């Protein structure tokens, strides 16, 4: 066994990661002694792109920040915009948004179960959970018109209504899924190889979870009792009755239990929503130009607390949009959890925070390690830094840009 320290880089491309991020591990044999996380491989400039698009165009762009938690981002954004514009969203629209939110939570947690199974080599669990997840994907396609990126929201309400003939289909699917989830709870607690791989792995005490800022099921499995749906109710959650699932295991097994518990709560919530849904309009007319103002909106995505900040300036395009995805808060916990862990635990610990790196990569903050300062750089300044750096290397892009412009005009 190689006993000297050697570095392994997990990612950016690695079979364990569904999305690119770089984790540099220093190994001694099979034990991890040090870990460095580097983010930024998925940075697409979404926040900058929002500044050049109208609010309704931004809505579809923000929705595509992530495929799995797309409704979370869309609803969070649109709630901020509606607050600035002072729109009173009708009750039925709030209930429909909550319904889609809970269906999304169900599909996300079932997806996570499968991915966790795959990371520990239990492909059967992957196949079975994803087969059962198809039931909820079909329901979402029936209600919203697409399996992911639902496009259900619009400024001032929702776009589509739930018709009475869809309700029995939803209830049948929820009943079937509840049976299957009860079976997965049994598998998760009784299958010995699963318990061996998940228990005692990735421990995070309650103090560390609060200190490092973990959110979502990652924090709730360490006993931190925080859930935005209960603490700061949005949409229809103020009128619904549900439990917040916490657990004391402090490890990946606890996170599995928390997510399975949340699945059962979601089934109850969906039934409540369908019973309590009021009649009425599904949207109000929204102005094209949103008056000046700013708002912060919070939302409990399947992965944790999602925060959006929108600043409007009276035109039909936003001035600034900021997205703080839950994975950004959780990814700092990973290096703490993997210290003195085994290499074999690395995939499941990273998977246990339910990483969605597409959501994560936002603004780049430049840390100057020599002068120990950190500042943010404006867009044009960043561009000129890049151009000057390449000029110093002897590469000049002005010719290239000129030819490109000419080619574009000729087409």
Question: Which letter does DSSP use for residue 367 in this model?
Answer: E
Question: What is the footprint of another protein within residues 174-203 (CB under 8 A)?
Answer: 183, 186-187, 190-197
Question: What is the footprint of another protein within residues 347-386 (CB under 8 A)?
Answer: 347
258 and 304 Cβ atoms separated by less than 8 Å: no
| Beta pairing class for 22-28 and 31-38 | antiparallel
Tally of CA atoms within 13 A in the half-sphere of 104 that contains its CB: 29
Question: What is the footprint of another protein within residues 254-313 (CB under 8 A)?
Answer: none
Taking the least distance from each CB to another protein, the nearer of 166 and 332 is: 166
270 and 170 Cβ atoms separated by less than 8 Å: yes
Using CB under 8 A, which of 56, 185, 244, 274 touches another protein? 56
Q: What mask, x for binding another protein by CB under 8 A, covers residues 208 to 247? A: ----------------------------------------
Which residue has tokens 């997840």?
Answer: 133
CB of 72 to another protein, least distance (A): 17
Instruction: Give the Å distances, CA to CA, from 237 to 67, 101, 221, 331, 411.
Output: 23, 11, 22, 28, 54
Q: What mask, x for binding another protein by CB under 8 A, covers residues 314 to 353? A: ----------------------------xxxxxx------
Q: Is 122 in the site for another protein (CB under 8 A)?
A: yes
Question: What is the footprint of another protein within residues 133-172 (CB under 8 A)?
Answer: 134, 138, 141-142, 145-146, 149, 151, 154, 159-160
Q: Is residue 228 reached through a cis peptide bond, with omega within 30 degrees of 0 on the bond before it?
A: no
What the block records as the tokens of 165 is 């003939």
Taking the least distance from each CB to another protein, the nearer of 16 and 387 is: 16
CB of 106 to another protein, least distance (A): 18
What the block records as the tokens of 133 is 């997840």
Q: Is 15 in the site for another protein (CB under 8 A)?
A: yes
Distance CA 179, CA 349 (A): 28
Which residue has tokens 């792109």?
Answer: 49
CB of 151 to another protein, least distance (A): 5
360 and 97 Cβ atoms separated by less than 8 Å: no
CB of 138 to another protein, least distance (A): 7
CB of 408 to another protein, least distance (A): 15
Question: What is the footprint of another protein within residues 78-117 (CB under 8 A)?
Answer: 117
Which residue has tokens 């925070």?
Answer: 353
32 and 25 Cβ atoms separated by less than 8 Å: yes
40 and 361 Cβ atoms separated by less than 8 Å: yes
355 and 327 Cβ atoms separated by less than 8 Å: yes
Among the listed ranges 75-83, 122-130, 225-233, 241-249, the one in contact with another protein (CB under 8 A) is 122-130
Binding residues for another protein (CB under 8 A): 1-2, 6-8, 14-16, 27, 30, 53-54, 56-57, 60-61, 64, 117-125, 127-128, 131, 134, 138, 141-142, 145-146, 149, 151, 154, 159-160, 183, 186-187, 190-197, 342-347
């Amino acid at each position: 066994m190689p006993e000297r320290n050697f570095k392994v880089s997990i990612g950016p491309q690695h079979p364990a990661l569904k999305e690119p991020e770089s984790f540099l591990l220093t190994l001694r044999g099979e034990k991890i002694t040090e870990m460095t996380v580097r983010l930024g491989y998925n940075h697409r400039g979404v926040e900058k792109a929002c500044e050049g698009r109208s609010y309704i165009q931004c809505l579809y762009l923000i929705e595509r920040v992530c495929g799995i938690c797309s409704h979370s981002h869309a609803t969070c954004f649109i709630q901020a915009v509606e607050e600035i514009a002072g729109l009173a969203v009708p009750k039925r629209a709030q209930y429909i948004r909550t319904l889609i939110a809970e269906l999304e939570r169900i599909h996300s947690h079932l997806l996570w179960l499968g991915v966790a199974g795959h990371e520990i080599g239990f492909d059967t669990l992957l196949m079975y959970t994803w087969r059962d997840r198809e039931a909820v994907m079909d329901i979402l396609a029936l209600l919203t018109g697409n399996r992911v990126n639902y496009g259900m929201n619009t400024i001032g309400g929702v776009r589509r209504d739930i018709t009475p003939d869809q309700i029995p289909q939803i209830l049948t699917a929820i009943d079937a899924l509840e049976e299957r989830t009860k079976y997965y709870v049994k598998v998760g607690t009784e299958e010995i190889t699963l318990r061996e791989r998940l228990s005692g792995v990735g421990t995070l005490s309650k103090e560390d979870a609060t200190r490092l800022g973990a959110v979502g099921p990652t924090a709730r499995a360490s006993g931190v009792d925080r859930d935005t749906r209960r603490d700061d109710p949005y949409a229809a959650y103020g009128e619904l009755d549900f439990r917040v699932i916490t657990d004391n295991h402090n490890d990946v097994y606890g996170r599995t239990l928390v997510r399975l518990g949340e699945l059962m709560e979601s089934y109850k919530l969906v039934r409540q929503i369908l019973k309590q849904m009021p009649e009425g309009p599904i949207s109000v007319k929204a102005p094209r130009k949103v008056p000046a103002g700013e708002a912060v909106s919070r939302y409990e995505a399947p992965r944790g607390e999602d925060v959006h900040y929108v600043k409007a300036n009276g035109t039909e395009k936003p001035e600034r949009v900021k997205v703080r995805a839950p994975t950004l808060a959780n990814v700092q916990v990973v290096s703490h959890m993997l210290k003195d862990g085994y290499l074999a635990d690395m995939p499941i610990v990273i998977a246990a925070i339910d990483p969605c790196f597409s959501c994560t990569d936002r603004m780049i903050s430049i840390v100057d390690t020599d002068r120990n300062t950190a500042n943010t750089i404006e867009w044009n300044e960043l561009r000129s830094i890049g151009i000057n750096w390449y000029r110093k290397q002897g590469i000049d892009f002005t010719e290239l840009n000129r030819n490109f412009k000419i080619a574009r005009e000729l087409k």
